Amino acid sequence: MKRKYFSAGTLALHILLLTGSVVMVLPFVWMLSTSFKPPSEVLSWPPQFIPKTWTIANYVAVFKTAPFLRFFANSLLVSIVSTASILISSTLAGYVFGKFDFPFKNLLFIVILATAMVPFETYMIPLYLRMVQFGWVNKFAGLVAPYLVMSYGIFFMRQNVHTTIPDELIDAARIDGLSEFGIYRKIVLPLLSGSCNALAIFAFMQSWAAFIWPLIITSSRELWTMELGLGMFQYRFSIDLGPINAGSVLSIFPVLVVFLLLRKNIVKGITLTGMKA
């Protein structure tokens, strides 16, 4: 039986990856632990990961202090609508850019990619003024509008269409009399199912974690999302760390569920994107 030996480089790589994993998981473990601590232990020294006294008072406070079920429903609705819109627009645009030739196609694709490099804060105010003109301020339409299209999603799907679906398959479908929409629905979408799952995770996380745009576009708590609701535990001179950590745990739960359900396809989708253009 052969023994496996690890080189110094491989061992150093594993140690580096293990250290990085611990650093990434540590804040989540601390947040989860703090959410079950009584106020006397939240800022105790030395800090303890395992509470001496376990309590769910922080979770009770979350629901008593704020209408968190309403905030949760708003975030969930925004994320679902945004994810569905991004999947539809990205797969359609990806199919067009990947399998069609038309004037200025490359230029238009570069322009779309360039928008991904522009920080949201640079066009946030013009976007808000446009929402004022539409009458969408403090409306659900205004809340979800910036998250209906994702330039990265278009690039992501274009790459996958180009590398996953052979031109011969598309040509054969056209010869058989299938319409372009039929090709998109019966051939393109099924072959892009793994990539759609990966993109769905990114799209869902983007809209679920949004804070700045909901903050400026909404003035009524009826439209607040989870991220805005957590701000209710931050006061002028202090922060209620117990409830805010409990609310944070609740806020990441849907994202964690989506990731666990679709995690098998995320690496596959990302890998295909890195293949030849």
Q: Spell out the domains of the chain, with CATH numbers in brackets.
A: 61-273 (1.10.3720.10)
Query: According to DSSP H, which parts of the chain are helical?
Result: 8-34, 39-42, 57-65, 68-99, 105-115, 120-134, 140-144, 151-164, 167-175, 180-183, 189-191, 193-208, 212-217, 226-230, 241-273
Which pTM was predicted?
0.81
Which pLDDT tens digit goes with each residue over 223-275? 998 888 887 777 655 577 888 888 888 888 888 887 777 776 666 555 554 44
Which pLDDT tens digit goes with each residue over 15-51? 898 888 888 888 888 888 888 888 878 777 787 778 8
